């Protein structure tokens, strides 16, 4: 029975005539504030999570300036109908007085394996009016306990004695299948799957999900991810079949510094558990076990991350993916009871095809360069992925696809920079009348692909570049009056996307493709501005912790594959284990990331201190790269070959000071008072030691390099009394190089930052917009569509750099995207209010730009900035998300108006100060147009 609001009020008034005189129906503010982008653990309606206290979040939408949230309510139910009736039988918070819209941890009843939970939220605005409820969202739990897994690891019979052939010859990918019958009406069906290797799963002839190279890369000796799929609509009443293909993936395939198979193992295994719930309340579980059938030799003859895929359609048993296939000739699977790996749900967006690129040109190689039927396809864009070929005919012969980033002068593929990688895909057709082919267990970094074996010239619409990456949402935009800077921004974004296959890699093409921690921490702020990185970084930080040694050393890359501890503890690389959690906290307001990594960060700093008691970090126990790829490594006539390299003990000690300072801040945030005192004192002591050893009374830093000055200023290591001199020396170091860059991968972004922060944005713009070598625009003038590893990867008239290390798709010099975002648009986070509860907008208008516009979709909502200058003055359009404020700093002390009114009289705007040629305004949420 439903009791109306008014009957309830009358009933209460009769019982309590005084107490309820003020009882009021909540005022709905649907026209004022609404809720959007409702997420669980930073994902929309995630399946199979294993976080028992997931993080709930939403964004607020309102047309009203200065709108804010003062309270919220969340209800969670195990039943959709109950939730629609506002019954939260799992968790109901009641009205919580709080402005938080994210990082809200679930705190209800214990969550159970395999269960689906429905939830919604509502908020109260600044006038205490309540919003409508959000749309209903849901999440489902994975298999939380070891005993929940009934499935067994299955595959071919194990390899007992490893031979040389096993290490170097990739075996064919086996096919696995299991038929089963369903006789009842299904309510819900969920498939949980994983592999030692890489897997594809099919149900009744259709592929399950669109994930690529699952379960993705982890240290398989420590943990393996599993995925969950809602397959309710894929099941039939009656006969059904589940099928799977297994390949090497990262588990068994050849990896960098381990140029043979089997870094983690040779025996490829499948784990699959299908849980079916029926309308009568009963359930069934179909699991991988000894009842499955297996065919040793499927159509995938060989598949390698580095070396491509060989696919023979003639070996593809027709109909094996659908029910009632005759599999009597198939063998029984081997059940492996020796595997005791830790299983974890995948909690970040999976690798998928995120874009398709059509070629801009196809040409035939001249006779004598290659076979007569060799065609070069130019996608016009350097990507990570492969090509898909669709032909209306069958050429009747083997097709070869070879990939490369660049062309030689004679238009043949430039493959020297691929080192040991052999990116060739092979397709052997069967009797089909048409060809639809793309590889499934590999990927390549390329712009050009050479196709051999065609009987007719390929057409542009028959070839498609498939772009593969972790499916992270793009959250920013940037456009300016400079087509060159617009191209640079696009190149940075492309390079990031091409290097996100579950981990942040250095490159997608050669035999490396590793999660180098130095590259990743340098690029991390740019990455966060470009994409929603929180769940991605949480996963990768767990990979890093998995590789930490007992004495506290971090690896230089993760997951780690080199035998022994050779690639460990390099300053600026290993420090990512401290720097990256801080970046995530700063941008997303997530204190849990600090808690999760706190112990490992303390061990890391303590170990450095133990090995460097005089506080000068010499790094005798680990690798010592320094400021990698600095100006001294450039091989170009007329460019200085000395004066670019910062001394390594200076570089190392600076990172020691910075990481310790961040750890002290973490301690303070987490309320660890004693540890804060310890690490804060240590940070100060390292800074004193740095100044004593490397900074003289004239503000000259040892080495007198652009890098050394930028590093010391960026990490706040310079005594205040000497800062002016140090800044002047940094500027002189730039002038000494004739306004060209001599910095390496760590300090280039720092140089740009410190020039602008200390009043020299004009020089920063000059470096950014330079077409002279070395510069960002120089590579664009050479046709670059992604960021190059080296400034001189290719020089017109000279050709290519050293092929041993010459990637044309490497993110790290793209870290200048951070400077572009924080200076051209002016958006930057506020350390005192992490997660963009408050932030800064301070555009540095300069260079040749006449206008710029862009946005960043932060965790609290979309921030928008545009500006233009004309003969009439300057116009700024600012968009502040609901429930947030910004300090807007404009480069003038002139009168500023908004909608014709002086800013002093504008609702939502407060004048803070006018000084030093700047006006500072505190701006509430809403859209504003400022003019002067």
What are the catalytic residues?
Answer: 512, 789
679: number of Cβ within 10 Å: 26
β strands within 231-374, DSSP E:
238-247, 269-278, 283-287, 293-295, 300-304, 308-312, 331-332, 334-336, 342-345, 351-357, 361-364
| Rounded Cα gap, residues 382 and 389, in angstroms | 18
Strand partners, 855: 477, 864
Burial 262-300 (b: 16+ CB within 10 A, else e): bbbbbbbbbbbbbbbbbeeeeebebbbbeebbbbeebbb
The tally of CA atoms less than 13 A away on the side-chain side of residue 226 is 30
CB 72 within 8 A of CB 101: yes
| Rounded Cα gap, residues 123 and 129, in angstroms | 8
- Minimal CA–CA distance to 886: which of 862, 916, 870? 862
The radius of gyration computed from the CA coordinates of the chain, to the nearest angstrom, equals 30
| Rounded Cα gap, residues 470 and 675, in angstroms | 37
| Rounded Cα gap, residues 284 and 276, in angstroms | 5
What is residue 679's three-state secondary structure? helix
Q: Which residues contact 871 (CB under 8 A, 6 or more apart)?
A: none
What are the φ/ψ torsions at residue 282 (nearest 5 degrees)? -85, 175
Cα–Cα distances (Å) from 199 to 114, 128, 210, 464, 882, in that order, read 22, 52, 12, 24, 43
| Rounded Cα gap, residues 788 and 505, in angstroms | 14
Q: What is the 3-state secondary structure (H, E, C) of 165-194?
A: HHHHCCCCCCEEEEEEEECCCEEEEEEEEE
Cα–Cα distances (Å) from 676 to 157, 488, 582, 660, in that order, read 55, 41, 15, 10
| CA trace torsion 756, 762, 768, 772 (10° rounding) | -140
The reply to whether omega before 774 is within 30° of 0 (cis) is yes
| CA trace torsion 439, 441, 446, 450 (10° rounding) | -40
- Minimal CA–CA distance to 65: which of 932, 925, 671? 925
Q: Which residues contact 81 (CB under 8 A, 6 or more apart)?
A: none
| Rounded Cα gap, residues 580 and 589, in angstroms | 13
The tally of CA atoms less than 13 A away on the side-chain side of residue 281 is 0
- Minimal CA–CA distance to 276: which of 231, 243, 244, 241? 231
């Amino acid at each position: 029975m439903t009791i109306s609001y008014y009957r309830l009020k009358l009933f209460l008034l009769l019982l309590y005539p005084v107490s309820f005189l003020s009882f009021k129906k909540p005022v709905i503010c649907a026209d004022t504030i609404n809720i959007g982008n409702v997420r669980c653990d930073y994902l929309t309606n995630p399946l199979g999570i294993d976080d028992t206290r997931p993080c709930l979040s939403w964004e607020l939408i309102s047309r009203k300036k200065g709108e804010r949230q003062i309270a919220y309510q969340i209800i969670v139910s195990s039943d959709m109908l109950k939730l629609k009736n506002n019954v939260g039988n799992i968790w109901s918070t009641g009205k919580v007085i709080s402005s938080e819209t994210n990082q809200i941890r679930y705190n209800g009843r214990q969550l159970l394996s395999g269960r689906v939970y429905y939830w919604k939220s509502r908020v109260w605005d600044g006038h205490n009016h309540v919003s409508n409820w959000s749309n209903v969202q849901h999440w489902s739990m994975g298999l939380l306990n070891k005993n929940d897994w009934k499935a067994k690891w299955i595959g071919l019979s194990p390899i007992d004695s490893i031979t040389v052939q096993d290490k170097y010859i990739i075996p064919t990918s086996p096919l696995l299948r299991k038929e089963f019958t369903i006789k009842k009406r299904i309510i819900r069906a969920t498939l949980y799957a994983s592999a030692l290797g890489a897997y594809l799963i099919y149900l009744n002839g259709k592929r399950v999900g669109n994930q690529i190279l699952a379960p993705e890369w982890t240290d398989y000796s420590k943990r393996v991810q599993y995925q969950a799929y809602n397959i309710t609509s894929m099941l039939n009443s009656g006969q059904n079949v589940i099928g799977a293909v297994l390949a090497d993936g990262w588990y068994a395939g050849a990896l960098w510094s381990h140029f043979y198979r089997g870094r983690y193992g040779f025996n490829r295994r499948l784990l699959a558990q299908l849980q079916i719930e029926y309308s009568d309340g009963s359930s069934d579980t179909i699991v991988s076990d000894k009842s499955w059938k297996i065919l040793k030799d499927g159509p995938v003859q060989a598949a390698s991350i580095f070396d491509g895929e060989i696919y023979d359609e003639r070996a593809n048993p027709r109909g094996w993916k659908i029910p009632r296939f005759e599999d009597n000739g198939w063998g029984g699977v081997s059940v492996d009871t020796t595997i005791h790996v830790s299983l974890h749900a995948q909690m970040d967006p999976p690798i998928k095809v995120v874009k398709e690129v059509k070629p801009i040109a196809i040409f035939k190689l001249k006779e004598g360069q290659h076979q007569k039927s060799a065609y070069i396809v130019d996608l016009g864009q350097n990507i990570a992925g492969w090509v898909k070929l669709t032909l209306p005919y069958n050429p009747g012969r083997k097709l070869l696809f070879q990939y490369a980033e660049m062309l030689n002068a004679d238009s043949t593929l430039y493959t020297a920079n691929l080192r040991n990688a052999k990116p060739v895909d092979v397709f052997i057709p069967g009797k089909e009348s048409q060809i639809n082919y793309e590889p499934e267990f590999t990927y390549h970094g390329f712009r050009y692909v050479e196709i051999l074996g065609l009987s007719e010239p390929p057409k542009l619409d028959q070839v498609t570049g498939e772009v593969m990456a972790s499916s992270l949402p793009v959250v920013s935009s940037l456009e300016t009056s400079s087509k060159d800077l617009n191209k640079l921004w696009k190149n940075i974004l492309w390079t990031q996307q091409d290097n996100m296959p579950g981990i942040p890699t250095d490159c997608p093409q050669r035999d490396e493709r590793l999660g180098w921690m130095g590259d990743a921490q340098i690029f991390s702020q740019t990455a966060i501005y470009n994409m929603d990185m929180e769940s991605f970084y949480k996963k990768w930080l767990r990979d890093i912790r998995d590789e930490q040694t007992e004495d506290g050393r971090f690896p230089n890359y993760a997951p780690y594959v080199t035998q022994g501890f050779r690639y460990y503890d390099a300053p600026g690389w290993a420090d990512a284990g401290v720097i990256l959690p801080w970046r995530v906290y700063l941008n997303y307001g997530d204190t849990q990331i600090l808690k999760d990594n706190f112990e490992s960060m303390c061990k890391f700093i303590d170990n450095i201190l133990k090995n460097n008691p005089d506080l000068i970090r010499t790094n005798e126990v680990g690798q010592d790269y320094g400021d990698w790829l600095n100006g001294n490594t450039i091989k170009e006539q007329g460019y200085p070959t000395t004066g670019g390299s910062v001394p390594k003990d200076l570089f190392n000690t600076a990172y020691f000071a910075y990481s310790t300072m961040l750890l002290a801040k973490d301690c303070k945030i987490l309320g660890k008072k004693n540890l804060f005192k310890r690490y804060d004192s240590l940070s100060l002591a390292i800074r004193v030691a740095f100044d004593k050893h490397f900074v003289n009374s004239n503000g000259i830093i040892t080495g007198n390099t652009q890098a050394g000055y930028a590093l010391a200023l960026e990490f706040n290591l310079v005594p205040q009394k000497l800062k002016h001199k140090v800044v002047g020396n940094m500027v002189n170091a730039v002038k000494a190089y004739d306004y060209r860059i001599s910095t390496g991968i760590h300090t280039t972004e720092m140089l740009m930052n410190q020039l602008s922060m200390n009043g020299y944005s004009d020089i920063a713009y000059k470096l950014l917009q330079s077409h002279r070598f070395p510069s960002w625009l120089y590579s664009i003038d050479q046709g670059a569509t992604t960021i190059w590893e080296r400034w001189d990867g290719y020089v017109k008239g000279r050709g290519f750099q050293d092929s041993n290390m010459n990637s044309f798709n490497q993110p790290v010099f793209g870290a200048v995207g951070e400077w572009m975002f924080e200076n051209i648009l002016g958006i930057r986070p506020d350390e005192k209010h992490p997660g963009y509860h408050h932030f800064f907008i301070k555009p540095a208008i300069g260079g040749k730009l006449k206008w710029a516009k862009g946005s960043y979709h932060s965790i609290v909502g979309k921030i928008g900035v545009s500006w233009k200058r004309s003969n009439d003055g300057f116009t700024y359009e600012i968009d502040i998300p609901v429930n947030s404020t910004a300090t807007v700093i404009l480069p003038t002390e002139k009168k500023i108006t908004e909608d014709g009114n002086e800013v002093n009289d504008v609702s939502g705007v407060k004048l803070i100060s006018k000084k030093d040629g700047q006006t500072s305004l505190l701006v509430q949420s809403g859209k504003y147009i400022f003019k002067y």
